[in-house]
Structure 1
Amino acid sequence: MNNLSSSPLSILGMTTKELRAIASAEGAEAFRGNQMAEWLYHRGVHSFNEMANLPEMLRNKLEAGYTIGRSRCIKTQRASDQTVKLLLETTDGGRLESVGLPYKSFYSCCVSTQIGCPIHCAFCATGQSGFKRDCTAGEIIDQVLSINETALVKQSNQVGNSIKTDHVTFMGMGEPLLNYDQTIKALRLLIGEMDISARHLTVSTIGHVTNIRRLAREGIPVTLAISLHAPNDDLRHELIPSFTRWTINEIIESGQDYVSRTGRRLTIEYCLLEGVNDHKVEAQQLAQLLRGINCHVNLIPFNPVEGLPFKTSSPQRVVVFKDTLIKLGIQVTERARRGVDIDAACGQLRGRSEN
């Protein structure tokens, strides 16, 4: 019986081992915990009554002392390119947004790790809404399950196709490495309970050096993406004034440590802002900074945010910046703009419902 608090304990976010312990504590066979995990992480149930193969007595006990912990979907938006944005309300009334990106045979889910964001990047919408709290691992997993439900709706009219979330990026609202413990727990659940490969998981960070080094020692070789956005400290401090604890060199060194310990290629995220960080000289500085590192640069177009003064770099400026990096030996990709018409693109998530 759950006696930890007066409010029901959420089981979403628990491992199979923890669920087996709950089943035993409620007087059932331990293997019932395995069945609970199957219902939670592979079928995405919202109630204990849906767990049809559990004994009625166990379901009643679970209903009395626990809760599933699923959020409520307040709003679903689908962009012209079929990108989906969900506005979810947590059990305590917190609001966050998640994005589903459809591909031919799978969905990629972009999850939020905090409600709001404490970083306040000058070019990002999320920080403008302030910071409320960290997400639990269960709330992070819930976002993947919610996108899965959207994927099932999409495939209902596509006979023969099997579409599910197979890639997860921690790039939504918040800074994942400032919510380190819950981010790590969510990663382990995605791998161990939902059978998603670590190589299909990406954690984006503004550059929390201490926790990048911790992540390198966790034994879970996910892709690390560092949101750099500038090749020198002066410019970076202008763009990210609240995060000046570490220099760019210290951030890159921690990225190198991650590469050497995990064998994974580092991603450097760089949002191009016209006339701010997209000059040829900044491309040259960036190439010098990254020389000799197993990495690639992902150039991100600035997506318009109401009230912000920045502009998207022109195609001509993007070409010059990209070509400069390539000529100096840096691998470069350009992120496709998806979901812009529903404010679901990079830097546009706010966790609010517009009337």
Structure 2
Amino acid sequence: GTLLRRQFYLGYPPYWDALHALVRSETPIIYNVFVNNLFSFTDVTSLGTYVGQTISISVTGLSDCGAKVASKQVGNPARASIYLIPSVNQLGMTFPICYTAWDQYHISSDTRCIHLYVVRPQPLFIGPKSNISEGPYRAVVGCTFSTSVVAIDLTSGSGITASYAAGKGYKVHIYFYKSVTSTTRNRVDNLFLPSGAVFLEDTSYFSNPTRREFSWTPLHGHAGLRFDFCFMLTDSLGTVNTASLVSREEFCFAVNVARCRYCLQPGDSIFTISNFWGTNWLNIWAGNGHILRPSQPLAFTEVILGPLFFAQAHDSIDSISIKLSVSPGKIINWNPDLAFYASNTSMFLDINQEICVLPHTCAP
């Protein structure tokens, strides 16, 4: 017969250096990596138990994400370093990278892996806070309403702060999207801010967090109307253009312009505003006990121009004008949201429709 020979190798497999290797774990550690930022994992080290053991480290998963081997040392110890600069088209992807150490007899260590997660932008508005539960903000003709519109991008990664994300180039910009003017009868979308509104730029076009100041001084024609101001976000990587407190759509806040209210301007007196609003100055002064000198009131004092009337069943502008001895034209002038009824002042109003009225109760 033929003599069969087999060679057996008795030895120890390579092992990982406790200080320069991946942690052994059933669940691989996830590393956040950022687009256009260098990520490197250096000097992963494996050792042999005895002299003469030659070790090399193989790394898998590199081609899937475009990572490269920066350096590789064969011997005892053996070392390997990799690097990756993620691209925009890898946003949101996770790439496993696995290391195995081998000796010259093809005896291997245990395989250890990490996951590289390419963090994607995830900008959100954080202010002004949603006022859904409290109702719209209140503004008055002649007084300036102001608020800060604030957004951040904490990204889709875990435990990332806005300042850290900004350092990685993840920044956002807030821009005005539209305003919506509403009455009980119609709704109009506008691609521009109403007269008197200003949306100031941040000091930098892109930043994180970012803040832009919104201010608005409503005019006479805005009284009684509701305005929704809507904004959107874009990120510095050009991948996101919407964001909200609750969804991926535009973020809006609402402002109701008070009816029958006015903020005095410098140089105003009770006499001048009574002429402008078409009423008697005694009517206005009688309803504003906080104004002691009608000829020299303090600027930006809020005044009540007249009482609010609530429409009843079958009320129309014509019927109300008869009840209160004022012309239909004046009622529409005091209530810009009722312009819908200008062509037919006999049309019934909605029940409980608020109406500003300055009844003629005092003789001139």
Quick check: which has more Rg, 1 or 2? 2
TM-score range relative to shorter protein = under 0.3
TM-score, structure 1 normalization: 0.24
Structure scoring higher RCO (CA < 8 A, sep ≥ 6) equals 1
Structure with bigger helix share is: 1
TM-score, structure 2 normalization: 0.23
Structure with bigger strand share is: 2
